[in-house]
């Protein structure tokens, strides 16, 4: 029976393309996914745009810190920020508003030492902006200790004021508390000075706006009125960490009349610019800049540039403020307008991680792309080697036809591949190897007549090598 002949292979031309978009997409896909994840994470962590409106709790209208807040307002307006100034009774109310999450207040002036010892963890300081010395003016005999004021009529200032809070704390250390024989009156400023001169009170505890030069000069010149000098100022500063021992030099209020006539030792808390910890970093920088412009000049209590200061006593310094005091404004905010710098700053938060992911990722794309294309070529070598091994064994004519059909299927599948032109060389090498296997299969095709004819002839004797007949050498067959 005549063996079946193999089917003629279909001639399918290979399709070459400039780029295998599928392989390219699969190669660049992981990098794109990583970049998308990096952008998503950056967007989750990015600071929102700074608000265009802030609210500050300042103090009584016309007071020193009310006026300071008005100056802040003008400075921030130059950068497109609206600062709403809220009046208050003083530091205690400012702190209460900041501690209340429902109060529409972002920042406020708070005297160190005000409030309970357990601080709201949501409040931070942007720095100290000035001293608030305590001046005690009294009538009568010279007083050496605060405890000597027991049983007297004392003007401590209105409820909620920093002067009253500080005075009560110092008097308590000397055994004078509300409800005792000592009258603690809510009088301050000009009213307290007038009451002292009229003999209606025995001592006035003056601080902040109550210690303006006109008021103090009038009291210094009044007969029978003395200024209390804290001989234990350093001790008070040690017992009350929020206090600083300072000295008012002789003649500081009136050099011509030498008022005061001698150095006055006193204690002073500091006023701090306190904010919620949610304050935008860019606005923190603007507020500190405004504080530097408003409070940075020299006064009778401070040298030029001494305030604002990173040394705080009542609240922890915010991270943004610490960075500002250490290195100033960032490069963007120094070189660009505020709102442009804010936009660029937030864009960098997205762009930087994107670049960090894309640069190494894109460098890997060519390698991944080449590996994918080569893998489509190499996977056919497994089938080709397996077929060749089967062809080397004993097989019938029908099995040989079947092997050739399998080889045709492999060649047909290879020719169907879309192959980038850059890899055409490897593609044609594969086709050469397919042709080589086809030749091996054809070489094993049985030729019965030829073998029978050769079998009927006796084997010829091997002729000895002569000079004319070259010897066989390795590799000459």
Q: What is the mean pLDDT of residues 385-414?
A: 83
pLDDT of residue 15: 54
**Phi, psi at 214, each rounded to 5°:** -60, -40
The band of 177, judged by pLDDT with boundaries at 50, 70 and 90, is very high
State the Cα–Cα distance between residues 119 and 101, nearest whole angstrom.
14
CA of 308: how far to CAs of 38, 81, 295, in Å? 39, 21, 7
Q: Are 34 and 357 contacting, i.e. CB atoms less than 8 angstroms apart?
A: yes
pLDDT of residue 374: 81
**Sign (positive or negative) of CA dihedral 331, 333, 334, 336:** positive
User: What's the burial of 279, exposed, middle or buried (CB within 10 Å: 0-12/13-18/19+)?
Assistant: buried
Q: What is the mean pLDDT of residues 386-406?
A: 82
Q: What does 206-266 look like in DSSP terms, one character per residue? A: EEGGGG-HHHHHHHHHSTTEEE---TTHHHHHHHSTT-EEEEE-TTSSBTTTTBSSS-EEE
Phi-psi label, residue 159: left if phi above 0, alpha if psi -120 to 50, beta otherwise: beta
Q: What is the CA radius of gyration of the chain?
A: 47
Measured between its terminal Cα atoms, the distance across the chain in Å is: 36
Q: What pTM did the predictor assign?
A: 0.64
Residue 74 has pLDDT above 50, yes or no: yes
Phi-psi label, residue 25: left if phi above 0, alpha if psi -120 to 50, beta otherwise: alpha
Which of 167-176, 281-290, 363-372, 383-392 comes out lowest in average pLDDT?
A: 363-372
Q: What is the mean pLDDT of residues 210-227?
A: 85
Hey, what are 266's tokens? Answer: 């006193």
pLDDT of residue 477: 31
Name the nearest CA neighbour of 220 among 255, 245, 188, 247. Answer: 255
Question: Could you give all domains of the chain from N- to C-terminal order, each with its CATH number?
Answer: 15-35+351-443 (no CATH), 53-130+271-329 (3.40.190.10), 134-268 (3.40.190.10)
Residue 400 has pLDDT above 90, yes or no: no
Residue 455 has pLDDT above 50, yes or no: no
Average pLDDT, rounded, for the chain: 81
What tens digit of pLDDT does each residue of 132-164 get? 999 999 998 999 899 999 999 999 988 877 788
The band of 337, judged by pLDDT with boundaries at 50, 70 and 90, is confident
CA of 21: how far to CAs of 26, 308, 372, 378, in Å? 8, 62, 12, 19
State the Cα–Cα distance between residues 2 and 5, nearest whole angstrom.
9
**Phi, psi at 160, each rounded to 5°:** 85, -10
What tens digit of pLDDT does each residue of 109-136 get? 999 988 776 677 899 999 999 999 999 9
Residue 228 has pLDDT above 60, yes or no: yes
Q: What is the mean pLDDT of residues 257-278?
A: 91
DSSP secondary structure letter of residue 110: E
pLDDT of residue 467: 38
The band of 462, judged by pLDDT with boundaries at 50, 70 and 90, is very low
Strands 82-86 and 15-17: unpaired
* Angle at 348 (CA atoms; ends 324, 364), nearest 5 degrees: 135
How many residues are listed for the chain in this entry? 477
Residue 205 has pLDDT above 50, yes or no: yes
Hey, what are 245's tokens? Answer: 């021992």
């Amino acid at each position: 029976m005549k063996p079946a002949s193999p089917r003629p292979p279909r001639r399918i031309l290979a399709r070459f393309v400039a780029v295998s978009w599928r392989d390219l997409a699969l190669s660049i896909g992981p990098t794109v996914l990583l970049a998308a994840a990096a952008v998503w994470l950056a967007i989750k962590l990015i600071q929102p745009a700074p608000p265009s409106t802030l609210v500050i709790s300042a103090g009584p209208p016309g007071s020193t810190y009310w006026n300071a807040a008005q100056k802040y307002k003008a400075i921030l307006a130059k950068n497109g920020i609206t600062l709403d100034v809220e009046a208050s009774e003083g530091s205690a109310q400012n702190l209460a508003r900041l501690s209340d999450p429902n109060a529409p207040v972002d920042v406020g002036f708070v005297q160190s030492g005000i409030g309970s010892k357990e601080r709201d963890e949501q409040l931070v300081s942007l720095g100290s902006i000035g001293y608030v010395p305590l001046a005690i003016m009294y009538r009568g005999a010279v007083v050496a200790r605060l405890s000597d004021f027991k049983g007297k009529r004392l003007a401590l200032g209105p409820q909620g004021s920093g002067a009253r809070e500080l005075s009560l704390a110092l008097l308590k250390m000397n055994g004078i508390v509300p409800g005792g024989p000592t009258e603690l009156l809510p009088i301050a400023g000009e009213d307290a000075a007038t009451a002292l001169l009229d003999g209606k009170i025995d001592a006035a505890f003056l601080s902040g706006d109550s210690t303006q030069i006109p008021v103090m000069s009038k009291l210094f010149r009044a007969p029978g009125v003395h200024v209390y000098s804290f001989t234990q100022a350093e001790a008070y500063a040690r017992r009350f960490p929020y206090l600083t021992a300072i000295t008012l030099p002789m003649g500081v209020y009136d050099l011509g009349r030498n008022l005061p006539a001698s150095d006055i030792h006193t204690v002073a808390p500091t006023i701090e610019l306190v904010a919620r910890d949610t304050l935008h970093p860019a606005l923190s920088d603007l507020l500190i800049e405004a504080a530097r412009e408003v409070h940075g000049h020299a006064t009778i209590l401070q040298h030029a540039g001494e305030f604002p200061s990173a040394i705080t006593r009542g609240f922890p310094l915010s991270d943004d403020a610490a960075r500002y005091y250490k290195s100033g404004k960032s490069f963007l905010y120094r070189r660009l307008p505020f709102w442009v710098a804010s936009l660029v700053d937030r864009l960098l938060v997205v762009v930087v991680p994107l670049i960090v992911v894309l640069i190494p990722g894109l460098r890997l794309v060519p390698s991944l792309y080449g590996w994918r294309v080569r893998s489509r070529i190499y996977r056919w070598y497994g089938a080709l080697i397996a077929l060749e091994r089967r062809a080397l064994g004993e097989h019938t004519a029908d099995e040989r036809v079947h092997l050739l059909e399998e080889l045709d299927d492999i060649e047909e599948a290879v020719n169907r591949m879309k192959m980038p032109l850059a890899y055409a060389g490897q593609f044609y090498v594969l086709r050469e190897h397919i042709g080589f296997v086809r030749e091996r299969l054809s070489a094993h095709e049985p030729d019965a007549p030829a073998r029978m004819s050769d079998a009927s002839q006796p084997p010829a004797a091997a002729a000895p090598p002569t000079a004319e007949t070259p010897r066989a050498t390795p590799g000459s067959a």
